[in-house]
């Protein structure tokens, strides 16, 4: 059974979105992001990875890594910091502010929180800002292969028409403050992130290597789809090569070139990612072993500890407690 590999990864790593801030800013203005320690427990307890995003709905502003490049973001554009790196949003490049305190959003604060920055006068920018949380361990090939900063444009050539509609709808939800708006904005966030990733994949130059480029390669993409569609099957390189329509040597070389590891090593890592999710739901270890393709609980436990660093029982207890 073939699989949509990107969707499979997004589902398995527990991607969850939240919109925290509706921002109206008047130049000059500057704001620095909330810390990872503040955000993650609020949107996905136990998650290991945070992604920050800002949708500019009116005007323009700058997004700047603390020790890196500044990017001008105009109305209709989305900027995503895929590692949750500390960054500043401001009316001009090079500005700095103190990070928002951990108690900036006390428990029970209605979301999205409305924030105003800058002096008096008409807004120079309006934004919807928020976060996505997901698992990074034991294996998240998407996060590992994304650039630290991605910018998508609702009017870009080839962009899905509904991205612009999502941005407008997100602002409408923020402005209306209707019941269920927090959940609605979280789902819109997840959809926007998927479209940002799609735009990034579409813009990858010919000859680009990596897992993302491999998704659109006929041989590698087919093999990834097969492994994700039936991870418990007793795959081998020869079977995958024949299914992809290539010789064993050609396929093995091409897969490693794109993905960075041999096919069987990739499959083993993906099985452990699947297993970690099942264990987080307090599943029985023997049933998890069978579901991800291991003939015995002991062989699965050895493989899991070797790759993840702790036995599956310890991983399960930690995740269930979180």
Token pair 């403050």 is found at 177
60: phi then psi, degrees, rounded to nearest 5:
-155, 160
265 and 124 within one domain: no
Candidate ranges 107-116, 158-167, 207-216; pick with highest mean pLDDT: 207-216
CATH of residue 223: 1.10.10.60
Rounded to whole angstroms, how far apart are CA atoms 18 and 13? 16
pLDDT tens by residue, 109-146? 666 677 888 878 889 998 888 888 888 888 899 999 99
234 and 176 within one domain: no
- The pLDDT of residue 164 is 61
Q: How confident is the model at residue 2 (pLDDT cuts 50, 70, 90)?
A: very low
244 and 312 within one domain: yes
182 and 239 within one domain: no
Instruction: Provide mean pLDDT across the span 294-298.
Output: 93
- The pLDDT of residue 189 is 79
Please state, for a pLDDT cut of 90, what percent of the chain lies above it: 43
User: Between the CA atoms of 303, 308, 310 and 312, what dihedral angle is there, to the nearest 10 degrees?
Assistant: -60
The DSSP line for 46-85 is T--EEEEEEEEEEEEEEEEETTS-EEEEETTEEEEETT--
CATH of residue 10: 2.60.120
219 and 198 within one domain: no
In the listed set 175, 203, 231, which residue is the last one of a domain according to the structure?
203
- Opening angle at CA 161, ends 160 and 166, nearest 5: 95
The average confidence (pLDDT) of the chain is 85
182 and 127 within one domain: yes
In the listed set 173, 203, 233, which residue is the last one of a domain according to the structure?
203
Would you say 91 and 61 are in contact if contact means Cβ atoms under 8 Å apart? yes
**More confident: 109 or 45:** 45
Domain boundaries, position 31? 5-203
Question: Can you name the residues that pair with 50 across neighbouring β-strands?
Answer: 133
**306 CB neighbour count, 10 Å cutoff:** 10
66 and 48 within one domain: yes
For the cut 70, the answer to whether the pLDDT of residue 182 exceeds it is no
94 and 11 within one domain: yes
301 and 272 within one domain: yes
What is the number of structural domains in the chain?
2
DSSP letter, residue 36? H
178: phi then psi, degrees, rounded to nearest 5:
-75, 160
Q: How confident is the model at residue 291 (pLDDT cuts 50, 70, 90)?
A: very high
- The pLDDT of residue 290 is 94
Candidate ranges 85-99, 124-138, 182-196, 235-249; pick with highest mean pLDDT: 235-249
In the listed set 179, 203, 227, which residue is the last one of a domain according to the structure?
203
Q: How confident is the model at residue 206 (pLDDT cuts 50, 70, 90)?
A: confident
Contacts of 146 (CB under 8 A, 6+ apart): 82, 197, 200, 212
301 and 279 within one domain: yes
- The pLDDT of residue 168 is 65
- The pLDDT of residue 1 is 38
For the cut 80, the answer to whether the pLDDT of residue 167 exceeds it is no
217 and 199 within one domain: no
192 and 244 within one domain: no
Instruction: Provide mean pLDDT across the span 47-75.
Output: 89
């Amino acid at each position: 059974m073939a699989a949509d590999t990107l969707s499979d990864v997004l589902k398995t790593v527990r991607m969850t979105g939240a919109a925290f801030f509706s921002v109206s800013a008047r130049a000059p203005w500057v704001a620095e992001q909330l810390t990872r320690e503040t955000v993650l427990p609020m949107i996905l307890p136990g998650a290991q990875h945070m992604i920050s995003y800002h949708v500019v709905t009116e005007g323009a502003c700058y997004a700047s890594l603390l020790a890196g490049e500044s990017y001008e973001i105009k109305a209709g554009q989305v900027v995503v910091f895929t590692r949750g790196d500390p960054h500043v949003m401001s009316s001009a490049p090079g500005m700095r502010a103190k990070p928002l305190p951990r108690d900036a959003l006390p428990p029970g604060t209605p979301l999205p929180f409305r924030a105003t920055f800058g002096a008096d006068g008409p807004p120079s920018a309006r934004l919807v800002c928020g976060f996505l949380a997901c698992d990074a361990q034991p294996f998240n090939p998407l996060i590992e292969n994304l650039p630290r900063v991605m910018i998508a444009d609702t009017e870009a050539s080839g962009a899905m028409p509904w991205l612009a509609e999502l941005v407008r709808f997100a602002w409408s939800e923020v402005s209306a403050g209707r019941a269920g708006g927090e959940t609605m904005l979280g789902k819109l966030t997840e959809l926007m992130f998927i479209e940002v990733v799609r735009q990034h994949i579409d813009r990858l130059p010919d000859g680009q290597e990596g897992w993302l480029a491999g998704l659109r390669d006929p041989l590698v993409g087919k093999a990834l789809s097969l492994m994700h569609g039936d991870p418990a099957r007793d795959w081998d390189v020869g079977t995958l090569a024949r299914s992809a329509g290539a010789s064993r040597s050609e396929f093995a070389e091409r897969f490693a070139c794109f993905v960075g590891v041999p096919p069987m090593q990739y499959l083993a890592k993906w099985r452990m990612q699947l297993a970690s999710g099942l264990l987080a739901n307090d599943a029985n270890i023997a049933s998890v072993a069978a579901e991800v393709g291991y003939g015995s609980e002991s062989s699965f436990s050895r493989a899991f500890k070797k790759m993840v660093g702790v036995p599956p029982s310890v991983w399960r207890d930690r995740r269930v407690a979180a």
